[in-house]
Chain A
Amino acid sequence: MTDLAVAQRSLRGLPSLILSPRFLRSALPALSLTVLLLAIFYLQPRTMSYFGLNLLLNLALPIAFATIAQMCVITVNDLDLGIGAYVGLVAAIGATWLNDTPLLGVAALLGCIAIYAALGALIHLRNLPSIVVTLGMSFVWLGLALLVLPTPGGKAPDWIQAIMKFRTPWLPFTIYASVGVALIVHVALMRSAYGAILRGAGGNPRSVARAGWSLLRTKMTMFALAGFFGMLSGLSLIGLTTSADANIALRYTLLSIAGVILGGGEFVGGRISPVGAVIGAMTLTLAASFLSFLRLPPDWQIGAQGGILIVVLAFRAIINRAEARR
């Protein structure tokens, strides 16, 4: 960059900051969410109430948790194709053991998280492609879920239902919970010292290892975190549905990946945005609502949902290209 260009940039000041690709890229998820929300308010004014926002967004919370779980895995440059089935297993355990024999339920859930950590270790030690391992595990999770809950049913523990139905003042519980999760994960991963190590383990593993950090430990930590957030996803989901089905969340696998990417994350590892991921999950949920409020014929809705994704990602590609040009 020449001196002249630098001078020009500093002269332009604020407008150039707003128009800078870096800012645009981090603002894009929030921007698309706002546009979508405004469109929904315009189409269906009924949603502009406590009741309306609650119905509109409450199913976004489990997706947000699943997205954060996926993001943990993507951070260390892996991909989890089993998260949807895993959430289904947690839901099955939650609606059966956790309700009938809480001790067994808690033990089973902790066991699941331990298996997740072990998966991280396995992938690291044997240098296996995570896609293969997690895809294989997705069948294991689904099988276990069917063993725990062969036919749909069960009952979510009352305390989970009470939490999910809790009427917080001003705004629905989902919004507080989403903001809380986004901020906590943001501080932990983006602001803390160890968070930088964890992200570095995905972005540049060799230098992190040279600096004396255990890559095995970072992988296990991130996979355990994925298991933990996957568990929160399953439990919050049955809190809303009141009972479970082994197949309840199979869709979450792709939704969570789309959420991470929509929220500004990238597949290369280390480049993530926890706040963006939560926003991405919300955007995906709202996109479906938006289309149904538009009264689009059912045959077109599937395609239109993909269309919204492509539009948002196309914007990002344009911004990225502009950034590369500088």
Chain B
Amino acid sequence: MKRLLATTILAAVVAIPAGVSADTSEKRIALSNNYAGNSWRQAMLKSWGKVGEEAVSAGVVAAADAFTTAENQVTEQAAQIQNLILQGYDAIVINAASPDALNGAVREACDAGVTVVSFDGIVTEPCAWRIAVNFKQMGKDEVLYLAEVMPEGGNLLEIRGLAGVFVDDEISAGIHEGVAENPQFNIVGSVHGDWAQDVAQKAVAGILPSLPEIAAVVTQGGDGFGAAQAFKAAGRDVPVIIMGNRHDELTYWKEQKDAAGYETMSVSIAPGVSTLAFWVAQQILDGQEVPKDLVVPFLRIDQDNLEDNLANTEAGGVANVEYSLEDAQGVINSGS
């Protein structure tokens, strides 16, 4: 009986990939991207190209082409989506310039029988799939980690992102929610670092003289290294600074870890999330039941896997991971 069960499972496991490649080998998937002007987006496009090429040569899909608009403009991307419909793509994966204003074009795509999957910059049109980032949870996770490593609590310095941007509000809300649940922590200062090391360094240097002893710095990514520099310049001990997967941050962490056993964690969204969207689109084309709203997993780096991740991160870039079909299936199953 046990052996029969094992055989059945084995057969099922073998049968799934075989079935997949048979069903979608004629299908073509396009990526509609609104912006390519920073390292995150460049890494995102590179990941898409790599995974797409592999999938095409393995015969999983017929094409996986990437299209980027010249400027980050809604009207341009709407036109681009309409062009992709005309080019006969079976699925369009979108990183959208606007959550609402592309709905007309997305509707046209759905009406033409095209599967639309949006990720990162999602669209609200109900006929499209959404792979959203739970930024609030990301902020909360930072505090939960701190509660784990320093149960006694302490003073926190919060570095926020670009004022007025939705992502900044969400991450900050998550951090404050985490602090509310862990009253041993106390946010004593908050500055805007604009997700840039130089801005963060200046902002932190400005507020530091007025602050009591800081136990930890909660960040939004792209600001941890600057914060560390500011602490060092002020002659203060560098507290636990949550990092954001940037190369300079990870390098600094590694140096400090080797020198003095510095401990922290790093969390952000991997640009390779485009490949997750690719596989989700492939699964939908394959006829799988996929819930309309999915959540992007975070790429979290801890003390023990720092070296591996640092080795895989390009200088000046962001730690990245390319998702596989199995990862996508995992996300789909956890979503339903």
Q: Which residues of A contact B (CB under 8 A)?
A: 44, 46-47, 51-52, 55-56, 58-59, 62-63, 151-154, 237, 240-245, 247-252, 285, 288-289, 292-293, 295, 298-299, 301-302, 305
How far does the alpha carbon of A44 sit from the alpha carbon of B86 in the complex, in Å?
Answer: 8
How far does the alpha carbon of A280 sit from the alpha carbon of B267 in the complex, in Å?
Answer: 48
Interface flags, B47-86, vs A, CB<8A=1, else 0 = 0000000000000000001111011011110111011111
Evaluate contact between A241 and B74: CB separation under 8 angstroms: yes
The minimal Cβ–Cβ distance linking A164 to chain B, given in whole angstroms, is 9
Q: Which of B191-237 contact A (CB under 8 A)?
A: none
Evaluate contact between A241 and B102: CB separation under 8 angstroms: yes
B88 within 8 A of A: yes
A-B contact number at CB 8 A? 101
Evaluate contact between A302 and B70: CB separation under 8 angstroms: yes
The minimal Cβ–Cβ distance linking A59 to chain B, given in whole angstroms, is 5
Interface flags, B72-106, vs A, CB<8A=1, else 0 = 01111011101111111000000000111111110
Evaluate contact between A245 and B74: CB separation under 8 angstroms: yes
Known: A240-B104, A292-B67, A298-B33. 10 other contacts (CB 8 A): A44-B86, A52-B86, A59-B78, A152-B99, A153-B124, A242-B107, A248-B98, A251-B71, A302-B70, A305-B70
How far does the alpha carbon of A58 sit from the alpha carbon of B86 in the complex, in Å?
Answer: 13
Interface of A (DSSP majority class): helix
Evaluate contact between A250 and B80: CB separation under 8 angstroms: no
Identity of the chain A residue whose Cβ is nearest the Cβ of B66 in the assembled complex: A298
How far does the alpha carbon of A242 sit from the alpha carbon of B88 in the complex, in Å?
Answer: 23
Q: Which of B96-135 contact A (CB under 8 A)?
A: 98-105, 107-108, 112, 124
B325 within 8 A of A: no
Identity of the chain A residue whose Cβ is nearest the Cβ of B103 in the assembled complex: A242
How far does the alpha carbon of A62 sit from the alpha carbon of B107 in the complex, in Å?
Answer: 19
Evaluate contact between B68 and A242: CB separation under 8 angstroms: no
B36 within 8 A of A: yes
- CB-defined contacts of A289 to chain B, threshold 8 Å: 79, 83, 86
Identity of the chain B residue whose Cβ is nearest the Cβ of A155 in the assembled complex: B100
Evaluate contact between A44 and B101: CB separation under 8 angstroms: no
Evaluate contact between B33 and A293: CB separation under 8 angstroms: no
How far does the alpha carbon of A182 sit from the alpha carbon of B108 in the complex, in Å?
Answer: 27
- CB-defined contacts of A245 to chain B, threshold 8 Å: 74, 98, 100-101
Asked, given contacts A242-B103, A243-B101, A245-B100, whether A46 binds B86 with beta carbons under 8 Å apart, the answer is yes
